[in-house]
């Protein structure tokens, strides 16, 4: 990681942005390779909404029962999604009409670990349909984390 990153990733407080690392892994169906920005963060760090949009309630977890997931879509492009998975506590009641910069979760310390020893995975995707598969939005990663090359 490059501690001199001065770009505000607008997902975690700027002093944590440079701690992100690229992780890639293939989904259980072997059909899709995920490219996430992974973090090891102290408890209490807030996770911020990177854009305005609605909360998409996901009734499943990719990783197991102890992992908390949060997904939102971009108001201006409903196929663009932001997802976080990890050792998270979400606000109660659930946010629905989310504004950029809103706190959508905090890191907690219950021991949940993903893809090794990370407690937060961040992903950006363009959601597909019957004729087009979902894709990772590498441009969002590059824009927000210029020191990483997904």
What are the pLDDT digits (tens) for 7-61? Answer: 899 999 999 999 999 998 887 776 777 889 999 999 999 999 999 998 876 545 5
Summary mean pLDDT of the chain: 86
Q: How far apart are CA 145 and CA 22, in angstroms?
A: 10
pLDDT at 63 over 70: no
**Prediction pTM value:** 0.86
The residues facing 39 across adjacent strands are 120
Radius of gyration of the chain (CA): 14
Is 77 strand, coil or helix?
strand
User: Model confidence over 131-142: pLDDT tens digits?
Assistant: 888 888 999 999
What pLDDT score was predicted for residue 98? 92
Q: How far is CA 4 from the centre of its chain?
A: 22
| Residue 143: band (very low, low, confident or very high) from pLDDT cuts 50, 70, 90 | very high
Q: Which token pair is 122?
A: 């961040």
Q: How far apart are CA 34 and CA 49, in angstroms?
A: 20
Q: How far apart are CA 88 and CA 119, in angstroms?
A: 8
What pLDDT score was predicted for residue 134? 82
Share of the chain above pLDDT 90, in %: 49
pLDDT at 149 over 80: no
Whether 102 contacts 49, CB under 8 Å: yes
């Amino acid at each position: 990681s490059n501690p001199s990153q001065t770009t505000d990733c607008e997902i975690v407080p700027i002093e944590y942005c440079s701690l992100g690392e690229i992780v890639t892994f293939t989904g259980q169906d072997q059909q899709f390779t995920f490219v996430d920005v992974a973090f090891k963060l102290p408890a209490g760090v807030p996770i911020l909404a990177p854009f305005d949009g609605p909360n998409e309630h996901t009734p499943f977890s990719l990783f197991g029962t102890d992992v908390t997931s949060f997904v939102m879509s971009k108001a201006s492009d409903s196929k663009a999604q932001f997802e976080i998975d990890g050792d998270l506590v979400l606000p109660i009641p659930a946010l629905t009409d989310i504004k950029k910069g809103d706190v959508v979760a905090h890191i907690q310390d219950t021991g949940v670990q993903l893809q090794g020893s990370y407690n937060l995975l961040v992903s950006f995707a363009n959601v597909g349909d019957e004729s087009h598969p979902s894709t990772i939005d590498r441009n969002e990663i590059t824009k927000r984390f210029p020191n990483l090359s997904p």
